[in-house]
Amino acid sequence: MYFYEKALEDKELLSKIRREFHQYPELGFEEYETSKKIKQYLNDLGIEHKSVAKTGIKAIIRGKGTKTVALRADMDALPMQDKKECDYKSKITGKMHACGHDAHMTILLGAAKILKSIEKELNGNVVLFLEPAEETVGGSRYMIEEGVLENPHVDAVIGLHVDDGLECGTIGIKSGIVNAASNTFTIKIKGKGAHGAYPHMGIDPIVMSCNVINTLQTLVSRETSPTDSVALTIGSIHGGTAENIIPEEVEIKGTVRTLSSSHRQVMKKRLREVVEGVTSTLRGEAEIDIVDGYPCLTNDDSMVKLLQDTASEIMQKDKIINLEHPSLAVESFAYFSTERPSVFYSLGCRSEEKGIIHPLHNSLFDIDEDCLPLGAALQALLAYRFLNC
């Protein structure tokens, strides 16, 4: 197929589009200008579209028949300063596309252009999902609630993410679980205030907090098999106003990452038991709030095979890397993967030669733009193969 050749012809255009997005980043559910730009490109291509989930977009390329595949890209940026020195660095203070969503949107538009040019050859429909607020609340679940997987009924969903750990020109594929599920928690440990010189007159929530934090670590080190992966992190602790005052309360915040629903439930149960047990033993009380974040992202076996077979049409086999381990990071594409057969893969964007070596969520993050036509071609070809196989 000529998909990669078509995408290479648009390399300059893809770089231009990506740099426009990169210079004007917007945070979750604030992607109004980004949405306008995307809609203008879709209008220019003659692709029908509508707004969903506030600032998100659902677009449709209609072929023959009812079989339907969706391609997804996320839209939002991060609240951080772009410290790169280049012509296309962010022009918005305190906001930056440091997670590659500018590239994802560009790749989707590149794939859309290819697919629109051959829409009469498509044995079905291609739906384009532009997802807002991926970095925060997960716009995909709001899109699903608004019915984006119906009218037409979506049979499968395909997504990708640029990867700073993979060289440009490569992709990474993982079967089964790709990304972890997350739970955030807030613990309020309540004691009794007192003078620092008379600790026996109070119930010290700081001492209780230290014991809670240390004991929680045993949920990973002593209650989880060494062959399983669980991450429990305390990211925030606040309490007290002066060095000679025992406060009444300490607040602790953290996150748990798990790779199965069973581990997720066990960790939630044991977290409550540990906190309540430790604080009650030390004469205190605790309020615990555990919030379910994104679920595990799981790749469908048949979709993984489709990806492997399709990628081999336009890439050398040594450029297709089978990833051994899942990531403990979360990804809101997981909401799509729980609803439909899906595949989510990594697109290499690193270039040692060009000095593009900084990780995602870093103020110096950038991509090798040679990954854009490869991503666009692969996404388009995956959609075509799914519909026409």
What is the predicted pLDDT for the residue at 17?
Answer: 98
Distance CA 374, CA 384 (A): 15
Angle between helices 301-314 and 371-388 (to 10 degrees): 120
Q: What is the pLDDT of residues 308-347, one digit of tens each?
A: 999 999 999 999 999 999 999 999 999 999 999 999 999 9
8 A C-beta contact, residue 85 and residue 95 = no
Q: What is the pLDDT of residues 135-172, one digit of tens each?
A: 999 999 999 999 999 999 999 999 999 999 999 999 99
Question: What is the CATH T-level fold of the domain 192-292, as seen in this structure?
Answer: Alpha-Beta Plaits (3.30.70)
SS3 255: strand
Best CA proximity match to 124, nearest among 62, 58, 49, 60: 62
Cα dihedral sign, 272-275-276-278: positive
Global confidence as pTM: 0.94
Distance CA 270, CA 97 (A): 37
188 pLDDT more than 80: yes
Distance CA 79, CA 30 (A): 12
What is 3-179+296-388's CATH superfamily?
A: Zn peptidases (3.40.630.10)
Best CA proximity match to 368, nearest among 15, 20, 3: 15
What is the predicted pLDDT for the residue at 86?
Answer: 96
Angle between helices 101-117 and 11-23 (to 10 degrees): 140
- Rounded mean pLDDT of 279-308? 98
8 A C-beta contact, residue 62 and residue 119 = yes
Fold match, 3-179+296-388 / 192-292: no
Cα dihedral sign, 171-172-175-177: negative
Q: What is the pLDDT of residues 55-104, one digit of tens each?
A: 999 999 999 999 999 999 999 999 999 999 999 999 999 999 999 999 99
Distance CA 51, CA 341 (A): 24
Task: Supply the Cα-derived Rg of the chain in whole angstroms.
Answer: 24
1 pLDDT more than 80: no
User: Which pairing describes strands 171-173 and 320-322: parallel, antiparallel, or unpaired?
Assistant: parallel
Average pLDDT, the chain: 97
Which uninterrupted H or E stretch holds 231? strand 231-239
Count each helix (H run) and each strand (E run) in the chain, helices first. Answer: 10, 16
- Domain boundary assignment for the chain: 3-179+296-388, 192-292
Which uninterrupted H or E stretch holds 56? strand 56-61
What is the predicted pLDDT for the residue at 219?
Answer: 97
